[in-house]
Amino acid sequence: MAKANNATKGPAPPAKDTTAKSASVFKIYSRYYLIAYNVLSALGWLYILSLTITHLTNLDGSQSSVIPEKARAATSTFSRFLTSLPFLKSSPVLTTTAVESKVPHILRPFYRRATTAFDRVGWPVTLVQSFAVLEVLHVAAKLVKSSLPTTAIQVASRIYLTWGILLRFPSVQTDPLVASMVFAWSTTEVIRYSFYSLNQVGIEVPFLTYLRYTTFYVLYPLGAGSEAGLMFASLPTGFPWPLKSLSDAYTYLRLAFVIIWIPGLATMMIHMQKQRTKVLGPGLLYKSPKAKTA
């Protein structure tokens, strides 16, 4: 009887082997997905960077040297931003001509073209940046090792600038700070996504690693400063403002964001400095990376 029972019992199903195989397949396809995502993101931001440079330098000859009327009307917001600075605070309200007169002569054509940068790059930036929401999902799904709160805050701040400021307030679209913000964003992201793409396939490019952990010294302040300036430019005149509706509350919320943006920048700079020291070691000169960071 015992022999009959033993004969009917087959080998136990290899549950552990099946689970391990499934996990291995998932890991392989996740890697392919991340490579595709990073490559496409790098190409998207490279397209935006090339558009921005082409527009500012007028490489295609499509830009007029005259500021359009809508840009003339909107630069009053940039004037308010300039006059809020300590060294210009005593100046009267700056007109478009007065603002331009404070720009070095050689840079004036760039300033004029910067006021129309949104018309050229606005929607590509909005589209490509919106896809960055996937990065929060990548962290939540543990596809990449990163801090979920940090990633969420970084992505949300960019989404807020595109959808909550640039598209919500048309007058801000003709602020020259749009060009400097997009330039900082696109340069940063071309470097970052290229670095991630090559890391996924096990390729290390020392110069790219150096750029990844060094350019933030310039690009982060440029980008964050432009972001704060655009939020400030979206604020109405006549502070304090009435608080009678949700729209009025949103005005005060934007002011709060302007105030906390600088401490936020300091936090990001400290974080990147720690990452740089971990990867490249102390000092500004390039050294062989001591560790790879995803």
Tens digit of each residue's pLDDT (9 = 90 or more) over 80-102 = 555 555 444 444 445 555 677 77
What pLDDT does 54 receive?
95
- Rounded to a whole number, what is the distance in angstroms from the first to the last CA of the chain? 60
The mean-pLDDT minimum among 55-59, 75-79, 89-93 falls in 89-93
The mean-pLDDT minimum among 43-47, 160-164, 247-251, 274-278 falls in 247-251
Mean pLDDT of 118-127: 96
Handedness of CA 109, 57, 71, 62 (dihedral sign): positive
Q: How far apart are CA 110 and CA 180, in angstroms?
A: 11
Contacts of 80 (CB under 8 A, 6+ apart): 93, 232, 233, 237
The mean-pLDDT minimum among 54-68, 72-86, 109-123, 253-267 falls in 72-86
Higher pLDDT, 163 or 24: 163
Catalytic member of 160, 220, 252, 286: 220
Full-model pTM: 0.80
pLDDT over 70 (residue 285): no
- pLDDT bracket for residue 108 (50, 70, 90): confident
What pLDDT does 213 receive?
94
> Can 227 be counted among the known catalytic residues?
yes
> Can 100 be counted among the known catalytic residues?
no
Handedness of CA 185, 188, 194, 197 (dihedral sign): negative
Mean per-residue pLDDT over the chain, rounded: 82
Contacts of 54 (CB under 8 A, 6+ apart): 60
The one-character DSSP state at 289 is: -
Assigned token pair, 271: 């974080």
Checking phi first, is residue 272 left (phi over 0); if not, alpha (psi -120 to 50) or beta? alpha
- pLDDT bracket for residue 68 (50, 70, 90): low
* Nearest to 176, CA basis, from 217, 222, 220: 222
What pLDDT does 265 receive?
92
Catalytic member of 100, 135, 189, 227: 227
Q: How far apart are CA 176 and CA 72, in angstroms?
A: 11
The mean-pLDDT minimum among 72-86, 178-192, 245-259, 261-275 falls in 72-86
Higher pLDDT, 44 or 85: 44
Helix then strand then coil, in percent of the chain rounded to 5, is 75, 0, 25
The one-character DSSP state at 242 is: P
Q: How far apart are CA 49 and CA 188, in angstroms?
A: 10
What pLDDT does 65 receive?
53
Q: How far apart are CA 168 and CA 172, in angstroms?
A: 9
* Residue 53: CB atoms within 10 Å: 13
Q: How far apart are CA 22 and CA 140, in angstroms?
A: 20
Mean pLDDT of 189-200: 96
Mean pLDDT of 150-176: 93
- Run of H or E residues at 94: none
Checking phi first, is residue 115 left (phi over 0); if not, alpha (psi -120 to 50) or beta? alpha
What pLDDT does 88 receive?
45
Assigned token pair, 176: 């020259």
Mean pLDDT of 260-270: 91
* Nearest to 200, CA basis, from 47, 9, 14, 27: 27
Token pair 């060094």 in the structure block, residue: 214
Cis peptide bond prior to 240, omega within 30° of 0: yes
What pLDDT does 36 receive?
96
Please report, for residues 51, 71, 99, 173, the alpha-carbon distance to residue 121 in angstroms, rounded to integers and kept in the order given. Answer: 7, 16, 23, 11
Checking phi first, is residue 239 left (phi over 0); if not, alpha (psi -120 to 50) or beta? beta
